[in-house]
Amino acid sequence: MKLGVNIDHIATLRNARGMNNPSLLRALKICEKSKINTITIHLREDRRHINDKDLRQLKKNSQLPINLEMALTDEMLKIAKKIKPDFICLVPEKRNEITTEGGLNLEKISKKKLNLLLTICNSNNIQLSVFINPRKKIIEIAKSLGFHAVELHTGPLDREKVNKLDIKKINEMINYSYKKKLIVNIGHGLNFSNIKYIKNRHKVDTVHIGHFIISEAIFLSLPKVIKIFKNLIKL
């Protein structure tokens, strides 16, 4: 199982101050040195964290594959065609949501736009995935539509008391997706405590984690930063 790190929330911190720090390129280099497998970024319609300039700079400077999360819109189709990320993952998007709240509804997807995106991906060796709820019917639709991979929504594991049925269901759908010969990725709400519930890891290609890694890094690094600054201000 490989690790993909979503660095959107470094941009969230940067944008809160309206300046250039913390630097996404610095974060990229740290991720490269840490030997992760993929950098994930979500270019939202409202550009609330990552923006177009960030995407261009990361694609230009990254030694790691770039996984672009995006909605299936005309604007994003043009960006995908121009940037040519290594991976694309289609996600649902609502302006009033804080984070992605569930999988994409494939029954209402625009077949015309999807076919245009598939043409872009197949012509440029881009792996196309879709973020979906872990349900058999949705996995079957994803397969029939021509997606190369699925990312199964693991949000139900991020609860104070995890339901055993959710654990069972997610693992069963990992098996089912794998059986359908789809590349299987997982993501959303995973952390140190709940990753243990993923039992069949050999069938998972990549686990994508963003918010938890970025937020936990603040606390793990805070003592070191304070120590450095205390040394700098000594009389």
| Ordered alpha helix ranges (H), 84-203 | 111-123, 136-145, 164-179
Q: Is 107 among the residues known to form the active site?
A: no
Tens digit of pLDDT for each residue in 195-223? 999 999 999 999 999 999 999 999 999 99
Tens digit of pLDDT for each residue in 182-200? 999 999 999 999 999 999 9
φ and ψ at 185, to 5 degrees? -120, 160
Residue span of the structural domain in which 206 resides: 2-232
Q: Is 188 among the residues known to form the active site?
A: yes
**How far, CA to CA in Å, does 71 sit from each of 95, 135, 172?**
12, 21, 27
Query: What confidence score (pLDDT) does residue 99 get?
Result: 61
Task: Supply the mean pLDDT for the chain.
Answer: 94
Per the residue annotation, which of 9, 148, 153, 188 is the catalytic one? 188
The two three-digit tokens of residue 139, written as one number:
């996995």
**Does pLDDT of 235 surpass 60?**
no
Per the residue annotation, which of 69, 93, 153, 208 is the catalytic one? 69
Q: CA-CA distance, 80 to 88, in Å (whole number)?
A: 8
| Partner residues linked to 66 by β-bridges | 39
**What is the Cα 117 distance to its own chain's centre?**
18
CA end-to-end distance (rounded Å), the chain: 49
Q: Considering its fold, how many domains does the chain have in total? A: 1
DSSP SS3 for 84: coil
**Does pLDDT of 18 surpass 90?**
no
Query: What confidence score (pLDDT) does residue 109 get?
Result: 94
Under 8 Å between Cβ of 6 and 40: yes
Tens digit of pLDDT for each residue in 122-164? 999 999 999 999 999 999 999 999 999 999 999 999 998 999 9
CATH code of the domain in which 126 resides: 3.20.20.70
Mean pLDDT of 63-91: 97
Q: Looking at residue 65, what DSSP letter applies? A: P
Exposure b/e, 198-219, CB count within 10 A at least 16 = b: beeeebbbbbbbbbbbbeeeee
Q: Is 208 among the residues known to form the active site?
A: no
Q: CA-CA distance, 174 to 83, in Å (whole number)?
A: 30
User: Residue holding tokens 């009033």?
Assistant: 96
Query: What confidence score (pLDDT) does residue 234 get?
Result: 84
Does this model's pTM top 0.75? My answer is: yes
